């Protein structure tokens, strides 16, 4: 039982490049979500999903896309990276006792 796994741990992108941040969980949780963490801002919700085939926007969805084809995976796509997307990204899933977070992806856009 690996919990919530995120890859990569670090990434540097050039402005305009695209990439996908991976998130996988092996706990059969229906609910998954993506947050970004910025200094002084706490964590802000980007997108979330309550099950395979169901996604919705959070507080800061612009510039990001998601899909949920399986219960296990919830990738986050940056279509055209911008310096404002420099951040630490966390994926989370929901268990009965609370939310479990991945170890994060530190993204820098130059």
Partner 1 sequence: AQRVTQPEKLLSVFKGAPVELKCNYSYSGSPELFWYVQYSRQRLQLLLRHISRESIKGFTADLNKGETSFHLKKPFAQEEDSAMYYCALNYGGSQGNLIFGKGTKLSVKP
Residue nearer to partner 1 on the CB measure, 29 or 85: 29
User: Nearest to residue 106, comparing CAs of 19, 17, 10, 24?
Assistant: 10
Chain positions 44 to 103 lying near partner 1, rule: CB under 8 A, are: 44-45, 48, 50, 58, 90, 92, 94, 96-103
Residue nearer to partner 1 on the CB measure, 77 or 94: 94
Residue nearer to partner 1 on the CB measure, 28 or 42: 42
Half-sphere exposure of 92 (CA within 13 A, CB side): 19
State the Cα–Cα distance between residues 104 and 60, nearest whole angstrom.
Answer: 17
Question: Is 5 near partner 1 (CB under 8 A)?
Answer: no
């Amino acid at each position: 039982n690996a919990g919530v796994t995120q890859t990569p741990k670090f990434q540097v992108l050039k402005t305009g490049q695209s990439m996908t941040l991976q998130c996988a969980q092996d706990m059969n949780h229906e609910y998954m979500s993506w947050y970004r963490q910025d200094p002084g801002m706490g964590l802000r919700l980007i997108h979330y999903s309550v099950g395979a085939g169901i996604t919705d926007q959070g507080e800061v969805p612009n510039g990001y896309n998601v899909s949920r084809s399986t219960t296990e995976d919830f990738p986050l796509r940056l279509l055209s990276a911008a310096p404002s997307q420099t951040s630490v990204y966390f994926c989370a899933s929901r268990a009965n006792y609370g939310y479990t977070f991945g170890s994060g992806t530190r993204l820098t856009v130059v």
